[in-house]
A and B are shown apart, each in its own frame.
Chain A
């Protein structure tokens, strides 16, 4: 590397930019190409458009059994809360002095329930539920909140179409408020 190139690298690091095509060449290029199978094993994120939802299905009835066995100890019977977060109810309270933020009253996207339960719940055994169980628990929680019917099946096609009641009340302030 010439002195001039070295200076350019140093400037690029200092100023966060340098009009040089060598920005990739500055690095040792040690990234190893990931295979589709490797990516599939790790890619657990699910977007609001449903991208990332796996095959599988579940209904509230199946979800109730999973919930009672694996979720109720922390979230109470039928999502009533205690000792941890309440998951059901609270609609109409957000503008009051004591708002109750639950999946039903607050969460803007139904896909988030699937994404979060699959990655982080139950607390003591994250990533232990099958995809069918996650769909079922998601259906159960949406059904308890009156957002879907008791018999509605949740799967990769139906879940992204669920309209959450509070979605329109979120105001995205990025990038307008970011200097």
Chain B
């Protein structure tokens, strides 16, 4: 992108932010030329040990934080997708989903046990894991319950982050799980691994051995720093592209087994109830999906003219090959340029300039991945899966733009 376009984007984001995200209010006099800005007439603040966002961005927080009744930590918080840009989610805004809160784990006390159908059951300290060969990968993590409000017949009155913010994207660094499994010596007939967390829920999932030997990572770092407590400190399992619940946080135990354990979170939850009463089980990869993050619900376009439509697309089955955008409810589609780098199983940014003529419009995005899978329209998806599957919704999200510029969630 050339510099003039980049600065235009910045300006239009600023306008959207001021009008849509932050609400309008009396503004101080701007530092318009020819006056000299006050910041240039005094020395600035000093250095800090750990940086924080600008105080003017204090409203950019995780959103729609909800817990089970009587608990503070069994629930979810969501990434404010509409306030972010690029492909990386700041670690402090990564979505959370906990089943018994965030445990306080001293890394010196933590142990990882690998046992079951192995030649040598092994215990690893975190210090030991830090000495193993590591890899870094940029991948999204998505809770399979993301976008579940769109299953409901009632239109959600929610922002993009509130509906779709159970997806985030980070650079994850850690030890390929394969190395530790090979060290323990896996029995060839063992097809599964039970992974268990050191939280109060002892959250556990059965993971196919094939995934464990393929691209599974024992994550130690997120976006360059050690994992945040809410993302599994000091060590988590990370399974690229697969439903987030399986990437067990605070990992303490891997048991190599012959068959799935059928834990609570792979039977009573994270199974997808279809309209006919049958349930799909072990629906692991997150399907191809996208959402327009700006403009989106709750924002107001300041007037007709050129605007930038942007959003994110991702697929747990591969790499995004195409994102198309419609401003007329899906009658016509335009391919949106993808922001480099376009990586497998990573959030992919798309951007498209849009000359809004001021008439009522409906914005949609439709992603395609390199397996050829295309994100379906919501009504088609609901017709196939019903309203009650809770998990793995990947239908198209629509936003209506009214003539007064107000952007709202719409089923269209």
Contacts and interface: CB of A to CB of B under 8 A. Distances in A.
Interface of A: 9, 13, 16, 23-24, 26-34, 38-39, 42-49, 73-74, 83-84, 94-95, 97, 99, 101, 103, 106-109, 111-112, 115-116, 119-120, 123, 126-127, 166, 169-175, 177-179
A170 B115 contact: no
A158 B179 CA distance: 39
Given A45-B194, A95-B277, A112-B268, A84 B70 contact: yes
B267 to A, nearest CB: 5
A179 B276 CA distance: 25
Contacts of B128: 28, 30-31
A31 B180 contact: yes
Contact of B277 (A94, A107, A123): A94
Interface size class of B (residues with CB under 8 A): 35 or more
B360 to A, nearest CB: 32
Interface string B258-277: 01111110011001010111
Contacts of B121: 33-34, 39
B115 A115 contact: no
Nearest to A99: B388
A126 B259 contact: no
A126 B200 contact: yes
A126 B202 contact: yes
Given A31-B184, A112-B264, A123-B70, A9 B133 contact: yes
A39 B210 CA distance: 24
Given A28-B131, A33-B120, A97-B388, 4 more contacts: A44-B202, A74-B70, A123-B200, A173-B280
Contacts of B252: 42
Contacts of A172: 281-282
A111 B182 CA distance: 30
A169 B262 CA distance: 15
A28 B131 CA distance: 7
User: Which label, helix, strand, loop or mixed, suits the secondary structure of the A interface?
Assistant: loop
B208 interface: yes
Contacts of B123: 31-34, 38
B262 A109 contact: yes
A92 to B, nearest CB: 9
Interface of B: 68-71, 74, 99-100, 113-115, 120-125, 128-129, 131-133, 135, 176, 178-180, 182-184, 194, 196, 200-202, 204, 208, 210, 214-215, 252-253, 255, 257, 259-264, 267-268, 271, 273, 275-285, 317-318, 371, 387-388
Nearest to B373: A179
13 contacts: A13-B135, A28-B131, A30-B132, A31-B128, A38-B123, A39-B113, A43-B253, A73-B70, A99-B273, A106-B268, A116-B263, A126-B100, A171-B279
Contact of A173 (B204, B275, B283, B387): B283
A24 B122 CA distance: 14
Contacts of A43: 115, 253, 255
Contacts of B204: 45, 119
A24 B124 CA distance: 15
Contacts of A83: 69-70
B208 A179 contact: no
Nearest to A95: B277
B259 A26 contact: no
A176 to B, nearest CB: 10
Given A43-B255, A47-B259, A94-B277, A116 B133 contact: no
Given A34-B121, A42-B252, A175-B210, A13 B317 contact: no
Contact of B208 (A29, A47, A174): A174
Contacts of B275: 95
A110 to B, nearest CB: 10
Contact of B279 (A13, A33, A84, A170): A170
Nearest to B204: A45
B71 A47 contact: no
Contacts of A45: 194, 196, 204, 255, 261, 263
Given A43-B255, A115-B264, A179-B371, A120 B135 contact: no
B120 A120 contact: no
A106 to B, nearest CB: 6
A63 B388 CA distance: 32
A47 B257 contact: yes
Contacts of A9: 133
B283 A30 contact: no
A74 B69 CA distance: 8
Contacts of B99: 120
B252 to A, nearest CB: 7
Nearest to B372: A179
B175 to A, nearest CB: 8
